[in-house]
Structure formats: C-alpha cells, structure tokens
Amino acid sequence: MKLPRRKFLHLAAGAAALPALPHIAWAQAYPTRPVRIIVGGPPAGGADIVARLMGQWLSERLGQPFVIENRPGAGTNIGTEAVAKAPPDGYTILLATPANAINATLYDNLNFNFIRDIAPVAGIVRVPNVMVVNPSVPARTVHEFIAYAKANPGKVNYASSGHGAAAHLAAELFKAEAKIDIVHVPYKGAAPALQDVIAGHVQMMFATAASVVPHIQSGQVRALAVTTLKRTAVFPELATVDELGLKGFDATTWHGLVAPSRTPKDVVATLHRATVAALADAAVRKSLGDLGVDIVGNTPEQFTAYIKAEIPKWTAIVKASGATLD
C-alpha cells in the first residue's frame, strides 16, 4: 500500500497533530527511555504510516519517544531479524505485516523463526484487498469470473506487485480455491500493475482498497469482491469472496505490533493496553480510517493465533505457486 506524497504528508501532519494526552499512571517502570518501532519497508508506505500514527500516540501515552526506524530490504526480513535478535526488553519492537507469515516459506535461509522469536502485542489494522477486473472482462460477479476463466484456461492474466508479494499469493489462493487456470504477470510494484489492469493489458488483480477506490469510482476498473472474511467499512456494499462461495477465503493485508520473544509479560501488557487505547481514540481512528483500513485491536493471544494460522495457509500457497526467494 504505497501512498502519494501529498497523502503521506497529510496523514503524517495528522499524526503530529494528535492531541497531547495525559500519561497513564501505571505502576510499571517501562518505558524509561526511547523505544524503536522497526518498519521493514520504506517511508511513506502503508506500514510506515500506521507505525508513525501509533508511535505518536504511544509517545504521548507512555511518556517516552517511540521512534520509527525504517529498515527496508529482503522482503522485510532485515527489519524483522533486527527485532528477533534484539534484547527482549520492549525497547525494540516491530510493525509486523503478512510478509512475516509469507516469508517463513518464501525464503529458504532465514536467520530467525518468526513464531519462535517474537511475542505478539496486538493486531492494529487489516487492509482489505479488492478483486478488480478491467471493464472489458465479461464478468460482473465472482461466479461469472470463475466461469469465464474456466471457459478460457490459461488465457486470463492477473497482475501483482511481484513474485511472492501479497497480491500474488492472494490470487494464487483464489486460483487454488476456485480451481481455475489463470496466469501470473508480475510487476515491480503495485502501481504499475494496477495501471496495466486499467489499460486492459492484464485482466485482473487483487489490489489494496486505498489504492483502488478512485479507479472503482471512475469506472476504470470493476470491483467484484473484497477478500476479508467480513464485509469492510470501506466497501460495505461489496460482498466478500467467502460469502460468494469460496468459504474461508481470507487474503488480507494486516499490521500489528510484536516484540522479541521472552519480553516480560508486564511490558507486553503495557504495550497492548496503550495500543488498544489508541485504537479507541477518535483522532487515531479517523487518521487510520483515511487509509481505508479496518481497525482490529485484538489481544496478544488472539494475534498469536491469527499469525499461527496465517503461516500454514501461505506455506501451502507458496509451495503450490512455486515462488521462492533466497
């Protein structure tokens, strides 16, 4: 989810303008010094924006700076490894994404084990993906698209932001569940992929809601369904793939906070309470809503269970697709 610079500056300014909040007088000593939130992607991306919004709140709430540190590279593995190997004291935490679940299989030689080496704090948001097609495709529903693909095996193409990217594997999951033969066309980024769907060079794509809303509204692409298990606030009128027949289909981009494993439980609890409080705040909710996301705010146990369910799901799809990266 890459945001235009103007939108990024607007949201960053919004984060800076969040009202100063009284510090909670919790008994825990943590934090007594600045905390780093590692982001495995570049500035101005969706994960970076979410991290900065949360960092601003946590700084005000807990009385210490929460500093965003971007460590892009190797599909987020560089930043993730830095957190996995950091001292388990809560002063280095990670803004986790689906890449962390996908990379467990996509990369052969990781120097960490995500489940073993991290302690989930809370899920923050889920970013709905939207299944869109070029208007020239004679399908207005998911059922019609599946029928069209089955009638034209190997002739329908779908775009993604690259091999192993969330959009690639979302389409591979759909391909497996629908039992259709569609062809992957990888691009170097989501923006050029979407542009070629708009131009009609590629027929279909799973795109983030925030990136595709104006193109749906203008009629440049046709939305068929969202990939969340429940309907999203961004497109409440748009049915889910699950309710349209592919039961259990969930290909959602998510962001959440995790700490190194063996981080003290009271530190994790402090971070969790502050995160949930942030997600209940009207200013934070509005800023996140501008990103086109659904707010989560689950417990560490619930977030752990969610991540553990994501890994085997994507493991099966990565192996079926043949995607691999060193």
Q: pLDDT digits over 121-174, tens only? A: 999 999 889 999 999 999 999 999 999 999 999 999 999 988 888 889 999 999
Q: What is the pLDDT of residue 24?
A: 44
Domain 129-226 has CATH 3.40.190.10: yes
Q: Which pTM value belongs to this model? A: 0.81
C-alpha span between 39 and 52 (Å, rounded):
10
**Which residues of the chain are in CATH 3.40.190.150 domains?**
5-127+252-321
Q: What is the pLDDT of residue 184?
A: 95
C-alpha span between 209 and 234 (Å, rounded):
7
Q: What is the pLDDT of residue 11?
A: 47
Q: Which two tokens stand for residue 100?
A: 């962390």
C-alpha span between 161 and 13 (Å, rounded):
28
C-alpha span between 160 and 162 (Å, rounded):
5
Question: Does residue 206 contact residue 253 with C-beta atoms inside 8 Å?
Answer: no
Which parts of the chain have pLDDT scores under 70?
Answer: 1-28, 323-326
C-alpha span between 166 and 161 (Å, rounded):
8
Which amino acid does the sequence have at 295? I
Domain 5-127+252-321 has CATH 3.40.190.150: yes
**Which residues of the chain are in CATH 3.40.190.10 domains?**
129-226
Q: Which two tokens stand for residue 51?
A: 């991290």
Question: Does residue 296 contact residue 54 with C-beta atoms inside 8 Å?
Answer: no
Q: What is the pLDDT of residue 8?
A: 45
Question: Does residue 274 contact residue 93 with C-beta atoms inside 8 Å?
Answer: no
Q: Report which of 179, 194, 207 is spatially closest to residue 320, judged by C-alpha positions.
A: 179
Q: What is the pLDDT of residue 177?
A: 93
C-alpha span between 200 and 22 (Å, rounded):
53
Residues with Cβ < 8 Å from 63, sequence gap 6 or more? Answer: 23, 31
